[in-house]
Amino acid sequence: MASPARFWTRPWVKWASIGLFVVLAVVVPLLLPEFANQTIARIGVFAVAVLGLNVVMGYTGQVSLGQIFFVGVGAYATAYGVNAGWNIALVFVFACILPAVLGLLVALAAARLGGLAIAMVTIALPLVGLPLAKRLSDFTGGSQGTSARFTDAPEWTGLYDDQWQLYIVILIGGITFLLTRNLVRGKYGRAFAIVKGNEAVASSMGVSPYRYKVLAFTIASLIGGVSGFLYMVVIQYTSPETLHFGHSIELLASMVIGGAGSIIGSLLGGAWYVLLPQITNLIDPNITAMLQGAILLVVLFILPGGLVSLPRLWRRRGGGDHGARGGGAAGPGQRTDAAASSSAAPAAPAIQAAPAVPGDAAADPPPSPPMQS
């Protein structure tokens, strides 16, 4: 029996699965009922937000509690541009650049502080953002919020609105995911991983922790802006409540649940963010908060490495050669894609040492010693 691992690395299988994914992305919106399309689109919106958070937290190891602020700024920028009658491409650029610039400014100051201080600074963002959004009513519509309905399906497509919106989300979200994947698997990703693992080691190798922290934070803000644009594509309304600090925490929880430092994990995190309230609403709308807390705890107990570690748990159970019961995450813990790719491609000269920083992989989930060879 050919081992499944080898099957998946065969080039034609790879290409076929990419082809399958593209075809599915094109066809699925046409097949599914309206509500499913809308739900998938919402998952896309928040998957992008979680992806941005992953760049700064999962890959670079800097705690950010302000991601929702950048999503909100992106949404407000989009609403403002649309209502001012700008070209939609310009609106999109604006919705990306504005949060990125804000993120850069904050990071320039905050990254110097290091440690938990950067987390404290990012806490301030949504806390300041919400009253600010209420106060700057000329731009934001005040506490009544602002809506921008610009994504109705054009006549010539013959599509329903929800299908059209889902296509936009798949296209923009897909490109964002692809670019981010390339980023974190390339030399920047390896630099991020070292900064996360040990800043002193990073400095000694000529990787400036400060510069890479600022870079990661700025990219995270930019991706947050993309998410904000998509937020307006799908939800078409934003208000100060969008920036509520609680949503930042929910995003953070979604990132951990999905799988920190993982591209697929970001997608799962987005799904978690959107589906958990819907599922708890199905069970009993009166106790949603309690149910969400309980489910969160259960998942974290079973899968400390996040949902993305589920297949590994399975494999371990099925294979059974190591007998690591309940240790799905105990093995490689949470594999950062960056670390994985750097070990797979040891060509990068300066950063050879990346795989030699095992703390990186086992550091932030509950510390669990790598058990197998």
Rounded distance between C-alpha atoms, residue 274 and residue 65, angstroms? 19
Should residue 144 be labelled a site residue for another protein when binding is judged by CB under 8 A? yes
Should residue 72 be labelled a site residue for another protein when binding is judged by CB under 8 A? no
CB closer to another protein, 82 vs 339? 82
For residues 178 to 217, the per-residue mask of contacts with another protein, x marking binding by CB under 8 A and - elsewhere, is ----------------------------------------
> Contact 252/290 with Cβ under 8 angstroms?
no
Q: Which residues contact 62 (CB under 8 A, 6 or more apart)?
A: 56, 111, 118, 119, 213, 216, 217
Instruction: Give min distance, CB of 96 to another protein, in A.
Output: 20
Of the ranges 190-198, 286-294, 298-306, 359-367, which one interacts with another protein (CB under 8 A)?
A: 286-294
> Contact 231/169 with Cβ under 8 angstroms?
no
Rounded distance between C-alpha atoms, residue 221 and residue 188, angstroms? 17
Rounded distance between C-alpha atoms, residue 110 and residue 88, angstroms? 33
CB closer to another protein, 41 vs 357? 41
Should residue 84 be labelled a site residue for another protein when binding is judged by CB under 8 A? no
Rounded distance between C-alpha atoms, residue 100 and residue 279, angstroms? 34
Instruction: Give min distance, CB of 275 to another protein, in A.
Output: 10
Of the ranges 32-40, 94-102, 108-116, 203-211, which one interacts with another protein (CB under 8 A)?
A: 32-40
For residues 249 to 278, the per-residue mask of contacts with another protein, x marking binding by CB under 8 A and - elsewhere, is -------------------------x--xx
Q: What is the 3-state secondary structure (H, E, C) of 12-55?
A: HHHHHHHHHHHHHHHHHHHHCCHHHHHHHHHHHHHHHHHHHHHH
Rounded distance between C-alpha atoms, residue 216 and residue 192, angstroms? 8
CB closer to another protein, 278 vs 343? 278
Instruction: Give min distance, CB of 263 to another protein, in A.
Output: 23
CB closer to another protein, 127 vs 310? 127
Rounded distance between C-alpha atoms, residue 262 and residue 65, angstroms? 18
- What string of DSSP letters covers 95-131? HHHHHHHHHHHHHHHHHHH-THHHHHHHHHHHHHHHH
Instruction: Give min distance, CB of 261 to another protein, in A.
Output: 26
Q: How far is CA 23 from the centre of its chain?
A: 24
Should residue 145 be labelled a site residue for another protein when binding is judged by CB under 8 A? yes
Should residue 372 be labelled a site residue for another protein when binding is judged by CB under 8 A? no
> Contact 145/240 with Cβ under 8 angstroms?
yes
Should residue 150 be labelled a site residue for another protein when binding is judged by CB under 8 A? no
CB closer to another protein, 88 vs 356? 88
3-state secondary structure of 147: strand
Should residue 157 be labelled a site residue for another protein when binding is judged by CB under 8 A? no
Rounded distance between C-alpha atoms, residue 260 and residue 359, angstroms? 14
With CB under 8 A as the contact rule, the residue among 177, 231, 245, 272 that binds another protein is 231
Should residue 246 be labelled a site residue for another protein when binding is judged by CB under 8 A? yes
What is the CB-side half-sphere exposure of residue 230 using CA atoms within 13 A? 30
Instruction: Give min distance, CB of 52 to another protein, in A.
Output: 17
CB closer to another protein, 86 vs 150? 150
Which residues would be at the binding site for another protein (CB under 8 A)?
Answer: 11-12, 15-16, 19-20, 23-24, 26-27, 30-31, 33-35, 38-39, 42, 131, 134-135, 137, 142-145, 147, 149, 152, 160-161, 231, 235-242, 244, 246-247, 274, 277-278, 280-281, 285-289
